Structure 1
């Protein structure tokens, strides 16, 4: 398929539930567990356990309706604010937060966190703490000067963004433009955590292929430094399985902070 015909996450229909089933579920046929569940969780646990990232507000700007990447963070922040571009993603996420019938099952992600932390007996408490922290799931518009208009938020202490810049950026200029909008929400000395797919061009939801912006580790590093950030930690892991659902080569986890 010609990459010019790929769908765009924030412009075309996106099935949030199928995205979760394909890439983040506990289904035995879901092959990306090591890459999309274990690797981010291990690195988030390490990053937050170091103790230098904490505060009042953490903001999440990530693709789809993911929850698993936020478990480690809720121990260190009073509030977690989740911004979503798509109403369907908001509905899917709120279904889990409100424990409604048919909500996606995230028990396997909570279990991974608990096992890594050596607290497997606190699984239920961890899920409840996550639900309490995620009181605010807000619609946003990336093209507005204030993405949350009419809501105005104070600058936040930390932003986590998982695979969103990959999905919404059509080229390098787009990536930098959106990154700047994200950084505009961050306090001086605030922290940014990016999780992304390197050397990828598409991912698949049911029969549809969606665009991914192709970039490498050097591009991310150079872009963050160019925007005035100091990189504190970076880890890259080569993909562990082959699947035509997605053509990435590696997963990157990078944490940086704004200079004063």
Structure 2
């Protein structure tokens, strides 16, 4: 057993810029080009360009200040609402959305998104459109009955979760409880997109281990079905990163829809 307890994302937080440098930058030493940039961006692009995922409101509960996957949503949703558990993370996101000095440089991701779409829209224009589409960045609190109290959010047409549920849940039972709470933000019939790692227990930021609940393919399938979701796509891809920053063996990309209640 690890003698040093892992920290929890929603309780202890982590340094957002260090997280971006390690897991989302264009630096040559960044080990997760496949897992955090090319693969998820392609999966999100393919999913939304199918035309089957669209509506008015998309709620995103992605880990850290990641925004790279959201370029794919721009033609299909009017409003994007980001939910984050820490003020530090919210500040980092807003630096970028407000084009402030010192904001993280996401140009490598907008370039990749532009190439995927056949260069129909320039990189700078794509970044402008995403900044305009992100209408709210809201803090959530697991201790509150309404996760975003005092703000009451509209129910979403699409809910996106990238690893946040894995970080805020102590174990599988807790994962189910948290999944149930966040899924209430989604309209009946609405679409769910999940992306994250499988069989992982931690990732490292700033030399500190951040907890991840260990989740396998069967666990995730069972949770979705038991919580009233119909899986429409489920894809597992083996890891390509060679690193000690996170212990995982694969990533999963899943789409589903919330069954209508009678």
CA distance in 2, matches of 1:62, 1:247: 19
Contact preservation (8 Å) 1:201, 1:211? yes
2:230 aligned partner: 230
How far apart are 1:182 and its partner, in Å? 1.1
Contact preservation (8 Å) 1:45, 1:72? yes
CA spacing shift, 1:157–1:95, aligned 2, 3 Å? same
Q: Which runs of 5+ in 1 are unaligned?
A: none
- 1:83 equivalenced with 2:83 (yes/no): yes
Contact preservation (8 Å) 2:202, 2:212? yes
Length-normalised TM-score, structure 2? 0.96
CA distance in 1, matches of 2:145, 2:192: 20
How far apart are 1:143 and its partner, in Å? 2.5
Q: How does 1:151-166 map to 2 (within 5 A)?
A: 151-166=151-166
1:128 aligned partner: 128
CA distance in 2, matches of 1:232, 1:139: 30
Q: Deviations over 1:183-228 (max 9, x none)?
A: 1111010011111110111101121111111111111111001101
- 1:242 equivalenced with 2:224 (yes/no): no
CA distance in 2, matches of 1:235, 1:27: 28
Q: Deviations over 1:6-46 (max 9, x none)?
A: 11111114111101100010011101101111111111011
Q: How does 1:194-205 map to 2 (within 5 A)?
A: 194-205=194-205
CA distance in 2, matches of 1:119, 1:220: 36
1:254 aligned partner: 254
User: SS of the residue aligned with 2:9?
Assistant: coil
Q: Deviations over 1:100-120 (max 9, x none)?
A: 111001111111111111116
Q: Tell me how large the CA RMSD over aligned residues is.
A: 1.2
How far apart are 1:241 and its partner, in Å? 2.3
Contact preservation (8 Å) 1:3, 1:211? no
Contact preservation (8 Å) 1:156, 1:186? yes
CA distance in 2, matches of 1:206, 1:151: 32
Aligned residues: 260
1:211 aligned partner: 211
How far apart are 1:251 and its partner, in Å? 0.7
User: SS of the residue aligned with 1:71?
Assistant: helix
CA distance in 1, matches of 2:34, 2:197: 14
CA distance in 1, matches of 2:154, 2:195: 24
User: SS of the residue aligned with 1:75?
Assistant: coil
- 1:98 equivalenced with 2:98 (yes/no): yes
Q: Which runs of 5+ in 2 are unaligned?
A: none
How far apart are 1:3 and its partner, in Å? 6.6
CA spacing shift, 1:175–1:208, aligned 2, 3 Å? same
CA distance in 2, matches of 1:228, 1:47: 21
CA distance in 1, matches of 2:73, 2:144: 28
Contact preservation (8 Å) 2:13, 2:86? no
How far apart are 1:4 and its partner, in Å? 6.0
Q: How does 1:15-94 map to 2 (within 5 A)?
A: 15-94=15-94
How far apart are 1:74 and its partner, in Å? 2.1
Length-normalised TM-score, structure 1? 0.97
2:139 aligned partner: 139
